[in-house]
Amino acid sequence: MRLELGIIKIEDVQFGEETTIKDGTLYVNKKELMALALQDNRLSEADVELARPGEEVRIIPVKDVIEPRVKVSGPGELFPGMIGKIGTVGSGRTNVLRGAALVTVGRIIGYQEGFIDMTGPGAQYSPFSETNNVVLILHPIDGLAGHAHEEAVRLAGLRAAVYLGEACKDIAPDELEVYELSPVDTALPKVAYVHPLLSEGLLHDTWFYGVDAKKILPTLIHPNEVMDGAIVSGNCVSACDKHTTYHHLNNALIKELYRNHGKDLNFIGVIVTNLNVTLADKERSSDCASKLVKLIGAEGTIITKEGFGNPDTDLMMLCKKIEEYGIKTVVITDEYAGGDGGSQSLADAVPQADALVSVGNANEVITLPPMKRIIGDLKSAEAIAGGFVGCLTAGGGLNVEIQSIMGSTCQLGFGKLTARGY
């Protein structure tokens, strides 16, 4: 499987008569985008706003972030099984609007949506302070049940991202990234990536080729498959460590393993598994995933995680079982060490987890200034995870945990945040 990503660099976003790209600017036809979103009659209202890096803008509450892409050639359609036809993806050519993002916002469904600050001290905690954001604000019809509301917003977001992506189908890319697991020196150690997906119910779900990840058994995939949207987010498990669809498309660990493929290691594949709500499921999935790691001949694995709390048990089960097969593991996790950093950071522990990368303490409290413009509803800060009644200061500043910031402690290893022991 050989995938070329045609990178089109976006440096600005503006409204325009036509959705198109010109000289690095993405122009958006607002009316068309709104109409597209409202094709789903579960949604009653749609609006579009733009937010650029450096602007004094706060976007809240955010459900998902998706990178606009378009399939130029090769089998399959983007987001297969969701809005695209089912079919294996990850080869041919896909163009990418790098530097742009589609952000879905709207009345809160659950408690776990988050926010993005485009400037100020909060900006460095989110990768989306650096993207030119097309923000799609969506409202459900009255009385719409939670599951239907979540689905309507999820699909609208994907459609919108594809709609924007279409604009660059025929544009010559600025750069070409090639992803191929070419044969390498057999002496290099074989490394596999174990990738658990959150699958715990409403606003805690993930979709794999259109199927609810609750229902899958661990399986082996080619890393390219995520780049065409085989994995889609259906959750807001806490903004800080939710894998947005953008994070899935741009999986940082996959990119890093590719960078080292052929140099220091032999990247042999990705094992996707789930994070279910019963003990039996956790045991079964970790049994199957670790067995797969062994069967494909891995010598080392890196295990990531989505969410926290009971997923710590899945992480520890995977680590323990893989190490018991004689395969070396490294685990990437965030921490919930309390506001003072003095509490235990994980809910579960095994002695085999001796190589751990920390992407930061999500309970760290941060004070953020008011922003000139709010896209969405600022008051929702009091209801989201990491926020609390009274976290809004007079004038619209925020006193919240970084838990509420989109992507601040993403456990795919995107960011440069860590925690150290003092």
User: Counting beta carbons within 10 angstroms of the beta carbon of residue 390, is it exposed (0 to 12), middle (13 to 18) or buried (19 or more)?
Assistant: exposed
Cis peptide before 61 (omega within 30 of 0): yes
The distance of closest approach from Cβ of residue 352 to other proteins in the complex, given in angstroms and rounded to an integer, is 9
Q: Which amino acid is at 239?
A: A
Query: Which CB, 150 or 228, lies closer to other proteins?
Result: 150
**DSSP track, 98-162:** ETEEEEEEES-SSS--EEEESSSTTGGG-GGGSSEEEEEEEEEPTT--HHHHHHHHHHHHHHHHH
Active-site annotation holds for 236: yes
Please give the Cα distance from 271 to 287 (Å, whole number): 12
Closest CA to 321 of 296, 271, 347, 285: 285
Please give the Cα distance from 15 to 189 (Å, whole number): 50
Q: Which residue among the candidates 236, 240, 319, 391 is catalytic per the annotation?
A: 236
Q: Which stretch binds other proteins (CB under 8 A): 48-56, 96-104, 223-231, 381-389?
A: 381-389
Instruction: Say whether residue 393 binds other proteins (CB under 8 A).
Output: no
Query: Which CB, 73 or 418, lies closer to other proteins?
Result: 418
Please give the Cα distance from 370 to 330 (Å, whole number): 40
Among 338, 372, 373, 379, binds other proteins (CB under 8 A): 338
Closest CA to 105 of 239, 251, 204: 239
Among 154, 204, 222, 247, binds other proteins (CB under 8 A): 204
The distance of closest approach from Cβ of residue 259 to other proteins in the complex, given in angstroms and rounded to an integer, is 8
Instruction: Say whether residue 318 binds other proteins (CB under 8 A).
Output: no
Q: Which stretch binds other proteins (CB under 8 A): 36-44, 134-142, 223-231, 298-306?
A: 298-306
Among 330, 369, 374, 377, binds other proteins (CB under 8 A): 330
Among 309, 372, 379, 393, binds other proteins (CB under 8 A): 309
Instruction: Say whether residue 112 binds other proteins (CB under 8 A).
Output: yes
CB 88 within 8 A of CB 155: no
Closest CA to 336 of 346, 327, 326, 328: 346
Among 178, 217, 339, 393, binds other proteins (CB under 8 A): 339
Q: Which stretch binds other proteins (CB under 8 A): 23-31, 60-68, 91-99, 306-314?
A: 306-314
Residue 174 CB coordination number (10 Å): 12
Among 344, 367, 372, 379, binds other proteins (CB under 8 A): 344
| Contacts to other proteins from residues 131-170, by CB under 8 A | 146-147
Q: Which stretch binds other proteins (CB under 8 A): 2-10, 31-39, 153-161, 324-332?
A: 324-332
Q: Which residues are catalytic?
A: 236
